[in-house]
Structure formats: C-alpha cells, structure tokens
C-alpha cells in the first residue's frame, strides 16, 4: 500500500505544495506509475528493486496531521493502517481522533461534537483529578489505574442515526471484526432496534413460618390494590425510578419478591435496592412474622447466569435486526448467505444446545458488551447477563435477515462509573451522556440500541470469518505482535511496491482460508459507501479468490493438503525467551 505514496523527486521537493493534498497525492502517484511503466512482457525488475524506487519513495510522515486526516477522509489512506504507515503510534492516534471528531460533527448526531472526545485520555492524563473523582464513589484502597486501549468502530447506522462506537479491549481483532460488521450493516441500509421491556430487578429473600403463610403473602402482593400500595412505597424513594412489576416465587418457606423497576437513565441497582427496602417495610406491617433474610435472594438475578433473566428479562430487553444484502455478504464478508445461515444454525443454535447453554445462542456477544461496558463506565460484572443473546439468521429473498435478541441488557448513562471523565466522553461520542432532560430514560435507551446493534455487527463478522475459516488467521495477525510498527512499515513498503510495479495499484496481502492471496487495489477501495466509497475490490479481483474460498463442509484433508499459511512449527526445546519472556521448561508430553 505504501506504493500509493510513492512520489516523484519533484513532488518530494514540494514543488506542488500549492495543490490540495489529494491532488498532489494523485499527481505524484500517477507520476510514479508513469516512471515505472514497463512494456508488456518486459522482464524489467520490480519497482522495489529498481533505482527509481529508492529516490521516488515518499513516506506518509512528511504530511501534516491535517493533510493525513484529509487523505483518510478521501479514502486515499486506510485509517486502519496509520500506525504502520506513519511508523508512529501516537501520531496515528492523533490523526484517527481528528478524523473521528470531524466525522462526529459531520454526522450531526450529537451536541458539541468538537469537544465530545476531549476527556478521553490519549496522552497526558490528569491522574490527580482522576483520584479526586473516584474517591468515595468508585473504588477503595486505590493504588493506581489500569490503562485499557479504546478504539472506535463505525459508522453504524441504527434507527436512522449514525454512531461512532467506542470500545475498550485488549483483544486484538475485536474492533477490526466489529468494524467490518458495522460496515456490512450500514451498507445494507442500517439496523432497526426495539426495546420490548424495561425493568431492573431486585428480589429479596423473605422467610415465613409456613407454606400457607407464603401463599397468603403472594396473594396479598398480587392483589391490584396492595400492588399499588407497594408501588407507591417503592417509588417514594426515587425521583426517577418507577416500579413496573412484582413477581413472587415460592420455594418451601422462602418467598422471593422480584421487584422490577424502570430506572430512567440509570442502570439502577442501587436505586431498585433502595425502593425494595421501603416496599418491604410496608409488607412487613401486614406480615409481621415474615423475616427478611437477604436483601438479594438471587432470584434477581444479578451478576450470575440465570434462566430467569433469559426468560423474563432484566434491564432492557432489546431486539435488533438488519437485512444484509447478498452482494455485501459476498463482497465484503467473502462468503454466502447460505453458508452464514449454515454456520449459525449448527454453531450458535445446535452447538449451544449441545453445550446446555443459558442464553448463549450467539458467537461472541460478550466480547462487544464487555468492550462497550468498560468504555462507557457500566458495571463489567453485569456482562454475564447483559450478553445473553440469540442470533437468528434467515433467508430474505436472496438476502440475509439477521437479528439478535438480548433480553437483559443492564446499562445506564448516569450513576456508577458513567460520570467519570473518560467514560463520560465515550458516552458523549454516542450522544447519550448523563440524564436525558426531555425524556427520562431516553439516553439509556440509546445506549441499549447501540449495544444491541454493535453485538449484531460482531455476530455478522465472526460468523462470516468462521464460514471462510479466517478466525485463526485474523487472531494471529491482529492478536500477536510479530514485529514493530517500523518493521511492519518496511514490510508494507516492500510488498506493496513490488505489487505496484505490476499493476500500478497498491495492494494488500491477505490470507483467506489456508491460502494467501494478493488483493489488488485494496488500499484505494476501502471506504464506507455511506461516504461514497466503493465495495471492497476483493470479490471483483478474484478468480484466485474462488480457489481459496472454503465453504463450510470443506473436507479437513483439503485444508491439510493446501499447505499452511500460519506459523505452526514449535521447537522441541525453548532455547531462548519468547515475546512473553517465557523460556521455562515445556510441559512433559503425556
Ligand atoms: C479481521 C477481519 C475483520 C479481516 O477481514 P477482511 O475481510 O480480510 O478485512 P478487510 O481488510 O478486507 O477489511 C474489511 C473491513 O473490515 C474492517 N477492518 C479490517 N481490518 C481492520 C482494522 N485493522 N481496523 C479496523 N477495521 C478493520 C473494516 O471495516 C474494513 O473495511 P474498510 O474500513 O477498510 O473499508 C476478519 O477476518 C474477522 O472479522 N475475523 C474474525 C475475528 C473476530 O471476530 N474475533 C472476535 C473474537 S473471537 C472470540 O474471542 C470468541 C470465540 C471465537 O471464541 C467465540 C466462539 O466460540 O465463536
Ligand atoms: N446496590 C447493589 O446491590 C448493586 C450496586 N451496583 C452498583 O450500583 C451502581 C449503579 O447503581 P445506580 O442505581 O444505577 O446508580 P446510582 O446509585 O449512582 O444512582 C443513580 C442516581 O442518579 C439519579 N438520577 C439523576 N438523573 C437520573 C435519570 N435521568 N435517570 C435515573 N436516575 C437519575 C438518581 O436519582 P434518585 O435518587 O432520585 O433515584 C440516583 O441518585 C454501579 O456502581 C454498580 O456497580 C451494582 C450491582 C449491585
């Protein structure tokens, strides 16, 4: 891809400085192409090896951040490759922030787009202010802080709104994958998300003298008049919480009273617990022999896998759908509608059934939920129920209808960690920080839609990657460090320059299935269609692509025979320390 930036010596001297940057870039690229053009059938050496290359090569670092941002916006430079091309990770972050901030302003979705990201640390960090803000609220016995990288995916179009979604993770490949899914959704006219139910729950354990007493208590609570009295007591403790339902379960002499509350923009665990105490006081007046054993009796059920959340819902119950166009599935995801349905059915539905899964009928909803919870200051321990999800794929004509149903997304935009400056910045990027003053709960609703649609994006990309057998390759590429950005840049220059000699286009080398293929024109074909970018050129490039594509059901022997594309050899002894500093003895072979 670096061949795109091959510039003539004339250009390098900036004699064209008066031209807009993109025009300069195109002119210089054309000049470079002309300089390297060889007659058909000529055996001239590839560009990388020629003398012309060395003088003509021009690296991106010579451009200003403003110019680089413009190139990214004009799809002349891939925003994903900035670290490698600039050989400077901090600058890459700066340019990406500039691009993201300008995109937020252009989307027109949020107020104060130019300052939304200001408090998301990316360099200097006000640790004193941070310690002040967490004291007495978020953590005790503090000894420091844990930096977790935050990336951004999108544009993601949901319910007609465009989002740039911040995600905090240390799992390489997760953002690349979710981003691909966002692109697939947005290229297919967006996603639609609906909230079916909203009720954060707390179920105290009340102990009574007999099962008859328990039944009497249940009947009393369920009478409309008493239910209203309990509701009034509950609601008296909060300006924003509104009790929705009371569900009573009995096990012998144990009574579990499950209060479900609409908590406005808060996730609401403190809020609902406070309301519960007041309602129990009233209950106790009528049932003096009842004893409160535990304020949480686990029927809530908080921070544990439980069927009650899966069936009844907890927090917001959300369903989100999209119809992926056939050409998007084929050209962007490199697979087919039928293959994705086949993988989903046999993995997410049957596989999860065989595993006895509880709300885990999905590929990796938890990945996206966790990254979004950490970025937005939501409680990561609630990922367990918030990521319960069933992913359904069905044919819609020749296209693919895809949905995620998530009955228990527990999130808030006020309370807990959401008001810390960095986390609040992530919420500002989504246009839903803090309390919604026009419609209480609308900000948390927005966040729930973002969570569900981002999960949908993650499902799309991972199911496709499994269908094309790309999972391991993606993780070896993006989850393990093999070389420094500078070394990667040199590799990129070498591989792209030689390819450019033959084609006049930059290229990217990629592996699909168990083979490696060279994708021509990759670097100038990225870019979102919503901003006028074309489809990934890979499908168009590709008779070779056909040869390396494995449909689900490919015989295992075919993989083996096709030769390894991944590093797979291990030495019998660990002679020197690896990148993890591990040079200890290997485990004995059983
Ligand atoms: C890695 C890809 C996306 C490559 O996929 P690709 O099709 O080769 O990518 P591409 O280079 O052709 O780019 C296509 C688009 O992908 C995105 N993309 C591509 N690269 C980047 C990047 N660096 N940064 C940001 N976005 C990126 C981006 O949207 C890009 O479009 P563009 O913007 O260029 O026009 C694909 O192979 C993939 O999605 N693999 C799956 C990886 C994955 O989903 N990992 C999740 C974790 S797996 C796990 O933890 C759970 C598991 C698996 O155990 C659960 C289970 O049991 O199933
Ligand atoms: N207590 C427990 O058992 C558990 C607690 N947690 C922790 O609880 C915290 C979250 O509790 P949560 O109750 O959400 O947060 P908070 O305890 O911070 O309470 C939310 C506060 O925001 C106020 N508020 C202002 N505007 C709004 C609005 N628009 N909508 C809703 N509330 C508004 C509420 O007012 P008002 O007082 O009038 O309601 C309330 O004081 C997290 O730190 C989480 O980790 C997690 C699990 C269990």
The pLDDT of residue 555 is 58
What average pLDDT does this structure show over 33-55?
31
How far is the C-alpha of 259 from the C-alpha of 460, rounded, in Å?
A: 36
404: tokens are: 């995620």
| Atom 46 (ligand 1) nearest CA | 174
Long-range residue pairs from 144-150, CB within 8 A, at least 24 positions apart, any chain? 148/374, 150/120, 150/375, 150/422, 150/426
What average pLDDT does this structure show over 161-178?
97
Q: Does the pLDDT at position 480 exceed 80?
A: no
The pLDDT of residue 319 is 99
Residue 554 pLDDT class (50, 70, 90 cuts): low
What average pLDDT does this structure show over 300-329?
98
Spatial CA neighbour of 374 closest among 103, 174, 580, 82: 174
List residues near ligand 1 (CB under 6 A): 78, 80, 173-177, 179-180, 183, 334, 363-364, 367, 461-462, 465, 470-471, 474, 510, 526-527, 536
Q: Does the pLDDT at position 321 exceed 90?
A: yes
The pLDDT of residue 477 is 82
Atom of ligand 1 nearest to the CA of 175: 25
31: tokens are: 């000049």
Q: What is the DSSP string of 24-64?
A: HHHHHHHHHHHHH---TT--PPPGGGSHHHHHH---GGGS-
Cα 146 to Cα 4, 142, 168, 426, distances in angstroms: 38, 11, 12, 17
Ligand 1 centroid–CA 153 distance in Å is: 11
Coil, strand or helix: which one is 547? Answer: helix
Neighbours of 127 (CB within 10 A): 11
Using a pLDDT cut of 70, give the percent of the chain over it. 73
Residue 337 pLDDT class (50, 70, 90 cuts): very high
Residue 585 pLDDT class (50, 70, 90 cuts): confident
What average pLDDT does this structure show over 204-231?
98
| Atom 20 (ligand 1) nearest CA | 176
Residue 56 pLDDT class (50, 70, 90 cuts): very low
- Enzyme catalytic residues: 171, 303, 379, 475
How far is the C-alpha of 446 from the C-alpha of 448, rounded, in Å?
A: 5
The pLDDT of residue 3 is 33
CB 359 within 8 A of CB 342: no
CB 48 within 8 A of CB 492: no
pLDDT digit string (tens) for 489-510?
Answer: 565 555 444 433 333 323 333 3
Q: Does the pLDDT at position 578 exceed 70?
A: no
Do the strands 389-396 and 291-294 form a parallel or antiparallel pair, or are they unpaired?
A: unpaired
How far is the C-alpha of 555 from the C-alpha of 182, rounded, in Å?
A: 31
What average pLDDT does this structure show over 109-113?
90
Q: Does the pLDDT at position 483 exceed 80?
A: no
The pLDDT of residue 282 is 98
Q: Note the ligand closest to the C-alpha atom of 478.
A: 1
Using a pLDDT cut of 90, give the percent of the chain over it. 69
How far is the C-alpha of 579 from the C-alpha of 576, rounded, in Å?
A: 10
Q: Does the pLDDT at position 460 exceed 90?
A: yes
- Comparing 372 with 533, the larger pLDDT belongs to 372
Q: Does the pLDDT at position 543 exceed 60?
A: no
Cα–chain center distance at 220: 46
Ligand 2 centroid–CA 300 distance in Å is: 16
The pLDDT of residue 579 is 66
The pLDDT of residue 311 is 98
Phi, psi angle pair for 282, to nearest 5°? -65, -45
What average pLDDT does this structure show over 535-554?
42
What average pLDDT does this structure show over 200-216?
98
Do the strands 205-207 and 291-294 form a parallel or antiparallel pair, or are they unpaired?
A: antiparallel
The pLDDT of residue 475 is 77
How far is the C-alpha of 168 from the C-alpha of 170, rounded, in Å?
A: 7
CB 446 within 8 A of CB 170: no
Kindly report which listed range (6-20, 153-167, 280-294, 521-535) carries the lowest average pLDDT score.
521-535
The pLDDT of residue 557 is 54
Atom of ligand 1 nearest to the CA of 519: 12
Instruction: Spell out the residues 6+ positions from residue 193 whose beta carbon is closer than 8 angstroms to its own.
Output: 158, 159, 318, 319, 320, 321, 448, 449, 452, 453
The pLDDT of residue 486 is 59
Q: Does the pLDDT at position 57 exceed 50?
A: no
Q: Does the pLDDT at position 580 exceed 90?
A: no
The pLDDT of residue 551 is 55
Domains delineated in the chain: 2-107 (no CATH), 147-192+319-476 (3.90.770.10), 204-299 (3.30.70.420), 478-561 (no CATH)
Q: Which helix (H) or strand (E) holds 496?
A: helix 485-503
pLDDT digit string (tens) for 408-417?
Answer: 999 999 999 9
Mean residue pLDDT across the chain: 81
The pLDDT of residue 109 is 85
Atom of ligand 1 nearest to the CA of 179: 29
């Amino acid at each position: 891809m670096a061949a795109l930036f091959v510039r003539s010596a004339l250009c390098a001297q900036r004699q064209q400085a008066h031209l807009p940057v993109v025009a300069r870039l195109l002119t210089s690229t054309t000049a470079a192409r002309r300089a390297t053009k060889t007659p058909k059938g000529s055996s001239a050496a590839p560009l990388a090896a020629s003398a012309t290359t060395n003088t003509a090569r021009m690296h991106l670092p010579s451009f200003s951040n403003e110019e680089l941002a413009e190139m990214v916006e004009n799809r002349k430079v891939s925003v994903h490759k900035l670290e490698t091309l600039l050989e400077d990770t901090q600058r890459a972050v700066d340019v990406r922030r500039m691009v993201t901030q300008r995109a937020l302003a252009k989307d027109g979705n949020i107020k104060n787009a130019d300052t939304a990201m200001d408090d998301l640390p990316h360099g200097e960090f006000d640790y004193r202010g941070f310690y002040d803000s967490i004291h007495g609220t978020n953590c005790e016995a503090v000894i420091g802080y844990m930096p977790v990288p935050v990336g951004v995916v999108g544009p993601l179009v949901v319910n007609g709104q465009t989002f740039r979604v911040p995600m905090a993770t240390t799992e390489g490949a997760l953002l690349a994958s979710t981003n691909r899914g966002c692109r697939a959704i947005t290229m297919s006219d967006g996603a639609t998300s609906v909230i079916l139910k909203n009720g954060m729950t707390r179920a105290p354990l009340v102990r009574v003298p007999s099962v008859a007493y328990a039944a009497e208590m249940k009947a009393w609570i369920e009478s409309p008049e008493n239910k209203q009295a309990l509701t009034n007591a509950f609601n008296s403790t909060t300006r924003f919480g509104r009790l929705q339902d009371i569900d009573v379960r009995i096990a012998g002499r144990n009574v579990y009273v499950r209060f479900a509350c609409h908590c406005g923009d808060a996730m609401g665990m403190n809020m609902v617990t406070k309301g519960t105490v007041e309602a129990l006081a009233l209950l106790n007046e009528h049932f003096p022999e009842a004893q409160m054993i535990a304020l949480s009796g686990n029927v809530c059920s908080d921070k544990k896998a439980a069927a009650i959340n899966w069936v009844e819902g907890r927090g917001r119950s959300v369903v989100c759908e999209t119809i992926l166009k056939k050409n998007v599935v084929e050209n962007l995801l490199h697979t087919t509608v039928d293959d994705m349905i086949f993988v989903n059915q046999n993995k997410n539905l049957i596989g999860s059934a065989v595993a006895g899964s509880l709300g885990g009928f999905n590929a990796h909803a938890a990945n996206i939920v966790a990254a979004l919870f950490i970025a937005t200051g939501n409680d990561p321990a609630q990922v367990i129920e918030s990521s319960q999800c069933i992913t359904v794929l069905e044919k819609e004509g020749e296209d693919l209808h895809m949905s995620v149903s998530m009955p228990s997304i527990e999130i808030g935009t006020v309370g807990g960690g959401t008001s810390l400056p960095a986390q609040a910045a992530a919420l500002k990027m989504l246009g839903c920080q803090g309390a919604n003053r026009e419609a209480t709960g609308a900000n948390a609703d927005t966040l729930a839609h973002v969570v569900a649609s981002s999960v949908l994006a993650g499902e799309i990309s991972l199911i496709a990657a499994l269908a094309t057998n790309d999972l391991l390759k993606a993780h070896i590429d993006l989850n393990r460090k093999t070389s420094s950005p500078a070394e990667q840049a040199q590799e990129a220059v070498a591989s792209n320059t030689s390819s450019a000699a033959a084609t006049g286009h930059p290229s990217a080398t990629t592996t699909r299935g168990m083979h490696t293929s060279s994708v021509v024109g990759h670097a100038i074909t990225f870019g979102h269609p919503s901003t006028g970018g074309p489809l990934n050129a890979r499908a168009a490039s590709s008779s070779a692509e056909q040869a390396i594509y494995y449909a689900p059901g490919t015989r295992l022997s075919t993989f083996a025979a096709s030769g390894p594309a991944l590093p797979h050899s291990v030495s019998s002894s660990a002679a020197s320390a690896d990148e993890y500093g591990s040079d200890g003895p290997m485990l004995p072979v059983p």
